[in-house]
């Protein structure tokens, strides 16, 4: 597993990040259509939690195969990996299932292994260069006040220490619950999901963009060059 993945500047088109998808790829496509996403030139970065809860979790392999779509590993991807690795542990599977993971256990053992291998390979952090400087992406939070320090720890540490850092990246809500606006130095912005907000919330330079597109809200796409948030209407809610 590569802990960190870095991307050079996109000189041909735009780069967007999107909040948690949770098995609603049809809604995601509608959001992309709404902003005129061009798959020939644009790129889309996911903050993770692409699977569980929604009806299209099995489409994650199709999306990860797209040459313009990239993602970090969220806590739901990690739950799937852990449950599969601890298949002898009924509690691990139960926890995943009650959190929307039942889709995985209706598949054959070979199909389960295929999806788990795919999710295992996702990085914990992504860094994307933009014309105005780099933007970082993790699922939930940055465990350090300095971006380079976090990347160094992810790439250097092993075993329990590395897993502890990963856990904060994937699970922590401490920054948003405490309304910590200190921000993260050494990076232009950090984009996260994990915690549902009615509208994008910015604390320092940390942008929380999970606006519940998977649960009846709307997907927020953020342009990584301008840091402009572009809310899109959930087509299933239009007219209500």
Domain ranges of the chain: 4-231
Q: Are 48 and 72 in contact (CB under 8 A)?
A: yes
| Residues with active-site annotation | 76
pLDDT of res. 39: 98
* DSSP per-residue letters across 160-173: HHHHHHHHHHHH--
In 3-state terms, what secondary structure has residue 238? coil
Question: Residue 96 is inside which H or E element, if any?
Answer: helix 90-96
Q: Are 199 and 222 in contact (CB under 8 A)?
A: no
- 206 CB burial (10 A radius; 0-12, 13-18, 19+): buried
In this structure, how many other beta carbons lie within 10 angstroms of the beta carbon of residue 96? Answer: 23
**4-231 sits in which CATH class?**
alpha beta
Question: What is the residue-level pLDDT of the chain in tens, covering all 240 positions?
Answer: 789 999 999 999 999 999 999 999 999 999 999 999 999 999 999 999 999 999 999 999 999 999 999 999 999 999 999 999 887 678 889 999 999 999 999 999 999 999 999 999 999 999 999 999 999 999 999 999 999 999 999 999 888 999 999 999 999 999 999 999 999 999 999 999 999 999 999 999 999 999 999 998 999 999 999 999 986 767 665 555
pLDDT of res. 1: 72
User: Residue 56's closest CA among 24, 29, 98?
Assistant: 24
Dihedral angle over CA of 217, 221, 226, 227, nearest 10:
50
Length of the chain: 240
pLDDT of res. 233: 67
């Amino acid at each position: 597993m590569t802990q960190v993945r870095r991307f050079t500047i996109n000189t041909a088109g735009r780069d967007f990040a999107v909040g948690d998808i949770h098995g609603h790829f049809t809604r995601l496509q509608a959001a992309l259509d709404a902003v005129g996403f061009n798959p020939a030139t644009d790129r889309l970065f996911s903050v993770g939690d692409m699977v569980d809860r929604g009806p299209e979790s099995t489409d994650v392999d199709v999306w990860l195969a797209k040459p313009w779509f990239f993602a970090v590993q969220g806590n739901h991807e990690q739950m799937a990996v852990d449950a599969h690795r601890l298949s002898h542990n009924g509690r691990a599977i139960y926890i995943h299932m009650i959190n929307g993971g039942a889709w995985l256990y209706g598949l054959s053992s070979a199909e389960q292994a295929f999806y788990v291998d795919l999710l295992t390979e996702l990085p914990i952090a992504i860094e994307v260069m933009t014309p105005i400087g780099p933007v970082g992406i993790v699922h939930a939070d940055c465990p350090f006040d300095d971006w380079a320090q976090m990347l160094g720890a992810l790439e250097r540490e092993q075993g329990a220490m590395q897993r502890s850092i990963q856990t904060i990246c994937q699970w922590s809500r401490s920054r948003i619950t405490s309304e910590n606006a200190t921000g993260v130095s050494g990076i232009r912005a950090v984009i996260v999901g994990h915690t549902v907000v009615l509208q994008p919330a910015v604390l320092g330079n940390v942008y929380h963009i999970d606006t519940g597109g998977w649960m009846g809200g709307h997907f927020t796409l953020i342009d990584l060059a301008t840091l402009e948030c572009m809310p899109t209407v959930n087509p299933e809610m239009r007219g209500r």
